[in-house]
């Protein structure tokens, strides 16, 4: 009896080891972190009523790209600045945006006080995909950028 259980332990141990390896290997795919983002404006300062461009840069890991579909959605939460929408990014690298950047047009309020600084805040919703295995996920990230008024 003792030998029967002793020999049966090896296949069970091997099965557990194989299960752990497969779970850990697939965990890499599912634990891929969302890219970080940064936001910047195209000029050092703006006149009241002037339009500007907010550039959102995605900081992706190796072999991670930002797809054009699902649509990238930028939402401003700053009540003072009026959003005009994303610039066209349909060209570029096939199914993915080029340079991991999108540009969003905005307008500084006409009644903004000269010498003031407005903090442009909002969030961006986007997809990100592993080019190695095709696994894609969705993320929402907050951003902020300073807009100085002349």
Query: Are residues 90 and 140 located together in one domain of the fold?
Result: yes
Identify whether 116 is preceded by a cis peptide bond (ω within 30 of 0): no
What is the rounded CA–CA span in Å between residue 142 and residue 33?
15
Angle, CA of 84, 129 and 22, to the nearest 5°: 155
Look at residues 141, 149, 147, 150 and name the one whose alpha carbon lies nearest to residue 56.
141
Q: Is 15 helix (H, G, I), strand (E, B) or coil?
A: helix
- pLDDT for 48-57, tens place per residue? 999 999 999 9
Query: Are residues 84 and 103 located together in one domain of the fold?
Result: yes
Instruction: Report the Cα 42 to chain-centroid distance in Å.
Output: 20
Query: Are residues 53 and 117 located together in one domain of the fold?
Result: yes
Instruction: Report the Cα 88 to chain-centroid distance in Å.
Output: 18
Query: Are residues 117 and 57 located together in one domain of the fold?
Result: yes
Range of the domain at 118: 33-149
Query: Are residues 110 and 41 located together in one domain of the fold?
Result: yes
CATH number where 43 lies: 2.60.40.10
The total of structural domains in the chain comes to: 2
Query: Are residues 136 and 62 located together in one domain of the fold?
Result: yes
- pLDDT for 63-113, tens place per residue? 999 999 999 999 999 888 999 999 998 776 689 998 899 999 999 999 999
């Amino acid at each position: 009896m003792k030998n029967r259980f002793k020999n049966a332990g090896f296949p069970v141990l091997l099965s557990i080891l194989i299960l752990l390896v497969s779970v850990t290997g697939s965990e890499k795919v599912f634990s891929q972190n969302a890219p970080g983002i940064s936001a910047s404006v195209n000029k050092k300062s703006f006149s009241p009523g002037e339009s500007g461009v907010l550039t959102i840069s995605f900081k992706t890991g190796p072999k991670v790209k930002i797809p054009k579909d699902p649509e990238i959605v930028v939402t401003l939460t700053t009540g003072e600045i009026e959003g005009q929408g994303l610039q066209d990014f349909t060209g570029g690298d096939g199914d993915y945006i080029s340079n991991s950047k999108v540009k969003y047009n905005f307008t500084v309020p006409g009644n903004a006080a000269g010498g003031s600084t407005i903090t442009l805040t909002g969030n961006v919703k986007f997809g990100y995909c592993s080019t190695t295995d095709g696994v894609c996920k969705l993320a929402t990230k907050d951003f902020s950028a300073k807009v100085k008024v002349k």
